[in-house]
């Protein structure tokens, strides 16, 4: 009789829904399932973000090395081919299926997030120094704010509008008073670079919506594969005039396999463990590394005015992201007064 009661109680336990309870962060069984979304980013993820930003910052220098030799369309297309191959290999190893049912959405993302920006960046690199490109592409955050407001994803507040105006003023300061003599060609290249940043920024709200329907790896691989198809005509146009030097091919291989393929997938994985603002910090870090690599490895000139313009762009992006440095200072003073 006692055994039957125990058996009945166990059967009830199996049928009953689990009682809600709080999971202790120190539990070794559940710790891996808890994202590290606290105010402090774990040091290992911080150093991973810094490493990825260093790689992405090198993209401006590598594009400057490959695009003039291979042609901007062919260089960008080869980069996408190698990125797709790398991401496809990762999907095969992880047994992740291709999201063929979302091909229309992936082609839109491939155009806005990959093909469009990289083609315009490569085109601008023919006449724009890599340091300039690194500073101007960070304006994608500003354009992303406009796109999110237009799609009702976020509200466009006064600080965000002020940030956008400061960002464009900083971009004008870099181009007009930077170390390189301003010319009609330089202005066109700068506008082309910012057009790429605009297209990239516009893709941000669409990527956010896609995350709800697909895995990050599926989105990344799918939109790179779609970008390859979209860039075939331009690549064929550049092919007859291309000069396949070892230096240019190595630059494209590094961009394709590392900065567009492996690094993008690693970034998606890091985003699961860090707060959104911490993940966005890679945008600013990559800008700094982009200027650093251009100065150290390409011997590009720099100036105090260029640094001031870059500082204005970074301040603008902070305001657009809702991070007001003046408010931080005020809060610090209030905290001291309270103590």
Render pLDDT for 154-202 as a digit per residue (tens, 0 to 9): 666 777 677 767 767 776 666 555 566 778 888 899 899 989 988 988 8
What count of other Cβ atoms lies within 10 Å of the Cβ of residue 12? 9
**Residue written as token pair 């090198």:** 58
10 Å CB burial of residue 302 (0-12, 13-18, 19+) is middle
What is the pLDDT of the chain when averaged over all its residues?
76
Share of the chain above pLDDT 90, in %: 29
> Is the pLDDT confidence value at 231 over 90?
yes
Per-residue model confidence (pLDDT) at position 137? 80
d(Cα 150, Cα 178) in Å, to the nearest integer? 33
| pLDDT at 7 > cutoff 50 | no
224 has pLDDT over 90: yes
d(CA 267, CA 198): 21
* Residues 24-70 pLDDT 10s: 443 333 333 334 444 444 567 767 777 887 888 888 889 989 999 99
Tell me the HSE value of 37 on the side-chain side, using a 13 A CA sphere. Answer: 6
For the cut 70, the answer to whether the pLDDT of residue 323 exceeds it is no
Task: Report how far apart the first and last C-alpha atoms of the chain are (Å, whole number).
Answer: 67
pLDDT of residue 309: 72
| Statement: residue 79 has pLDDT above 80 | yes
Yes or no: say if 210 and 223 are a contact pair by the CB < 8 Å rule.
Answer: no
């Amino acid at each position: 009789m006692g055994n039957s009661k125990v058996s009945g109680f166990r059967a009830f336990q199996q049928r009953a829904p689990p009682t809600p309870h709080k999971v202790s962060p120190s539990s070794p069984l559940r710790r891996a399932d808890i994202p590290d979304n606290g105010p402090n980013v774990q040091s290992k993820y911080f150093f991973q973000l810094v490493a990825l930003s260093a790689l992405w910052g090198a993209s401006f220098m590598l594009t400057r090395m490959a695009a003039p030799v291979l042609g901007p369309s062919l260089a960008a297309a080869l980069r996408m081919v190698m990125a797709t191959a790398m991401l496809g290999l990762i999907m095969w190893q992880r047994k992740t299926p291709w999201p063929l049912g979302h091909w229309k959405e992936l082609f839109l993302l491939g155009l806005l997030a990959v093909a469009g920006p990289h083609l315009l960046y490569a085109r601008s690199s023919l006449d724009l120094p890599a340091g300039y490109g690194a500073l101007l592409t960070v304006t994608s955050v500003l354009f992303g704010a406009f796109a999110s407001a237009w799609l009702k994803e976020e509200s466009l507040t006064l600080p965000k509008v002020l940030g956008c105006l400061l960002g464009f003023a900083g971009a004008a300061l870099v181009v007009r008073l930077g170390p390189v003599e301003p010319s009609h060609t330089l202005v066109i290249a700068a506008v082309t670079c910012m057009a790429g940043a605009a297209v990239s920024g516009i893709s941000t709200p669409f990527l956010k919506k896609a995350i709800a329907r697909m895995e990050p790896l599926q989105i990344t691989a799918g939109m790179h594969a779609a970008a390859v198809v979209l860039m075939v005509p331009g690549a064929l146009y550049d092919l007859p005039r291309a000069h396949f030097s070892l230096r240019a091919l190595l630059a494209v291989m590094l961009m394709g396999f590392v900065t567009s393929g492996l690094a993008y997938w690693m970034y998606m994985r890091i985003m699961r463990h860090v707060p959104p603002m911490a993940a966005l910090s890679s945008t600013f870090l990559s800008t700094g590394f982009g200027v650093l690599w251009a100065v150290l490895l390409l011997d590009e000139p720099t100036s105090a005015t260029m640094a001031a313009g870059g500082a204005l762009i970074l301040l603008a992006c902070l305001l657009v992201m809702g991070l007001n440095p003046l408010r931080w200072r005020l809060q610090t003073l209030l905290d001291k007064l309270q103590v």
